[in-house]
Structure 1
């Protein structure tokens, strides 16, 4: 099957063919190769925080500076990690995903316009 999308005389696009195209599969594989490892990392990091808070209370209650504790730093680290992951994904998507998605969209628009 060709990677170029065609529309029938009624202007209907064969979205199943688009989904099965090598460019679309590459797009999904590239996205998943970024998302799944990062999601696994974040979930592990989150559950370590929760488990430490539940079972290592003395460790989490250790004061680092003034009233700042290890637990507070870990909790704030969750927010920092969330923002870092978001910024990293946006940069990755802009650099790696958006060009492929734009090509696919342009092909779909051209096929729709030709029909």
Structure 2
């Protein structure tokens, strides 16, 4: 027997069966339902900014306030959108993913006990 109790629990759990369980599949589906659309949105937004910076000089040069132009403003909005996406994911995870993961974890811990 191993002196590591965590190793003993892992030996008793059939991870392939758990991965194929309906609860785990639902957790993955829920996770992907947020991550994939948000990743696509962010990549489109990022590449739109890069393309505008390269091909739409007149638009990006429009003065908004003082020396602040559209290019700087949209560049700063890249940071804002990153933080907004992070906050949205944390909220989504706390409300949707964590409860489902907790159920699975508790079930696995009971099997391992």
| 1:68 and 2:68 are equivalent in the alignment | yes
- Structure 2 distance, partners of 1:97, 1:55, is 41
- Structure 2 distance, partners of 1:20, 1:63, is 56
TM-score computed with the length of structure 1 as normaliser? 0.88
Q: Which has the higher helix share?
A: 2
Tell me how far 1:11 sits from its aligned partner.
Answer: 4.7
Tell me how far 1:12 sits from its aligned partner.
Answer: 1.9
Instruction: Please state whether the residue corresponding to 1:64 is helix, strand or coil.
Output: strand
Query: Where do residues 13-32 of structure 1 align in structure 2 (5 Å cutoff)?
Result: 13-32=13-32
- Structure 1 distance, partners of 2:11, 2:86, is 37
Q: Which runs of 5+ in 2 are unaligned?
A: 1-9
The aligned length equals 104
- Structure 1 distance, partners of 2:37, 2:91, is 16
- Structure 1 distance, partners of 2:12, 2:85, is 38
Q: Which runs of 5+ in 1 are unaligned?
A: 1-9
Q: Does the 8 Å CA contact 2:31/2:97 hold for their aligned counterparts? A: yes
Alignment partner, residue 95 of structure 1: 95
- Structure 2 distance, partners of 1:11, 1:21, is 18
Spell out structure 1 runs of 4+ moving beyond 4 A: none
